[in-house]
Amino acid sequence: MRILHLVHQYMPEHVGGTELYTRWLTQALSQRGHEITIFYRRSAEGAGQEHRLEEGVNVWTAWNGLQSPVRRFLATFGDSSMERAFECVLEETNPDLVHIEHLMGLPVALIRSIQRQGLPYIITLWDFWWVCANAQLLTNYSQQVCDGPQMYLNCARCALARSKLPGFWPVLPLMAGLLACRNHLLHQVMQAADRLVAPTEFVRRWYVAHNAPTENLLTILPGLDYTPVVPRQRSDGMVRFAYIGGLSWQKGVHILIEALNEIRGAWELWVAGDESFDPAYVASLHERATSSVRFLGRLTREEVWETLAKVDVVLVSSLWYETFSFIISEAFASGAPVVASRLGPLADRIRDGVDGFLVPPGDVSAWREVLQRLVDERDLLARLRANVRFPMTLEEHADQIEALYQTLGGCRVS
């Protein structure tokens, strides 16, 4: 089959869960003999379009100026440059099916181009962007988890806070109307999709509760491209915790540092992540950290696995809804238990007290209690590690996705 993957951003400019998944899946499908193309938008000065070949996968990128939150938002309503670039790729590749990984910063008109070609398309719901313009259901004005639009007035308030105009109330009704229009357009895109794929049951349930079409909505857990890691045996008595991920407030790394600062015993916290994304937040982490906290910076994929082989416990301290969390899969692939916030799908992925622990999000005292137990009770750590189950492989996941493609491959309307 000829399959076109549409994603909002991609490597090397951006490295995140959606981008890594897109690379893993497309390369796996290419190795199975499918003709795979990726199209994504780059943030860059000027305008242009470029093609490259990466391990058998055709990658097309187009750009039309530097992206900003405002430009990404407005792009949903139209962007003639991106529309022309995408039309060229459609004509060049003539796909049998389009897989939309993300549409943020891209115009809804791309879907009309797909429909004019009579192509089936599926959408993977990697976050809550299809309903929440903030994507992760975390308000900009109170930094609290949100349950979705309330007549769009809360959404407008959130947008104004993000724009640094929280007191500009006269435009609140206008902003609410614009956000309602945005969601109407995106709901139409979801409604017309041949399949919607949720990465976890929590995400599926959330979208069902927020009026996503249920007849074509299914859950397919993502797989991981990995070889089980053999942990290194150590006898130094040190318990090494690791946080690997984004370094921003909503990831809750400050909660970990605050909790660990009062832990007794021999421990270290290794913090890995890109420190350039939110320099002010990272600076505050450095200020709070003791000498027992090591900052590793941004790791390559090889360095991630090397780090996981050296640590005892992986920590996922999110204060917002994740939709899957690949680092949990990676931790389990390395045999490491996970302590995570009891929030959203994280609670579905960890068996509390069996292969890790679940902690109320943002509760420093609760985090401190659990981490102190792991330092004190070595038999507990060994028991958790013994109960870790390896995650689904990429090959197993690709089998399910390939079967879905084949089901829809004959749906093209001439």
- Quote the CA–CA distance of 67 and 290 in Å, as a whole number: 37
- Report CA dihedral (367, 372, 377, 382) to the nearest 10 degrees: 50
Instruction: Please list, in sequence order, all residues whose beta carbon lies within 8 angstroms of the beta carbon of residue 350, skipping any fewer than 6 positions away.
Output: 328, 338, 340, 356, 357, 358
pLDDT in tens, 168-210: 667 788 889 999 999 999 999 999 999 999 999 999 999 999 9
The number of residues in the chain equals 414
Kindly state whether residue 41 falls inside one of the protein's structural domains. yes
Are the CB atoms for 123 and 5 separated by under 8 Å?
no
Angle (CA) 325 327 329, round 5°:
85
Q: Which of 31, 319, 307, 324 is nearest to 199 (CA)?
A: 324
Residues 196, 87 share a domain: yes
Assess if residue 99 is contained within a domain.
Answer: yes
Residue-level pLDDT at 235: 61
User: 410 falls in which pLDDT band (50, 70, 90)?
Assistant: low
Phi, psi dihedrals of residue 339, rounded to the nearest 5°: -110, 125
Residues 6+ apart with CB under 8 A from 309: 229, 230, 231, 232, 334
pTM, 2 dp: 0.91
The per-residue pLDDT for 414 is 43
381-399 as b/e, with b when 16 or more CB fall inside 10 Å? beebbeebeebebbeebbe
Write the CATH number for 45. Answer: 3.40.50.2000
Same domain (yes/no): 197, 257: no
Does 87 share its domain with 208? Answer: yes
Same domain, 175 and 96: yes
Q: Looking at the domain assignment, is residue 186 inside a domain?
A: yes
167 lies in a domain?
A: yes
Asked whether residue 232 is domain-assigned, the answer is no
- In the chain, the number of structural domains is 2
The reply to whether 234 falls in a domain is no
Mark whether 315 and 251 lie in a shared domain.
yes
Model confidence over 122-159: pLDDT tens digits? Answer: 999 999 999 999 888 888 888 888 888 988 888 888 88
Q: Which domain covers residue 349, as residue numbers? A: 239-387
> Strands 57-65, 44-54: parallel, antiparallel or unpaired by DSSP?
antiparallel
**Same domain, yes or no: 119 and 157:** yes
Same domain, 49 and 29: yes
Q: Are residues 253 and 370 in the same domain?
A: yes
Task: Give which of 157, 103, 108, 143 is closest to 125, Cα–Cα.
Answer: 103
The residues, any chain, with a CB within 8 Å of residue 327's CB and separated by 6 or more, are 244, 245, 314, 316
| Structural domain contains residue 231 | no
On whether both 115 and 256 belong to a single domain, the answer is: no
Q: 377 with 280, same domain?
A: yes
> Rounded distance, CA 315 to CA 336, Å?
10
Q: For residue 204, is it within any domain?
A: yes
Q: Are residues 217 and 73 part of one domain? A: yes
| 187 and 255 part of one domain | no
Do residues 413 and 118 touch, judged by C-beta distance below 8 A?
yes
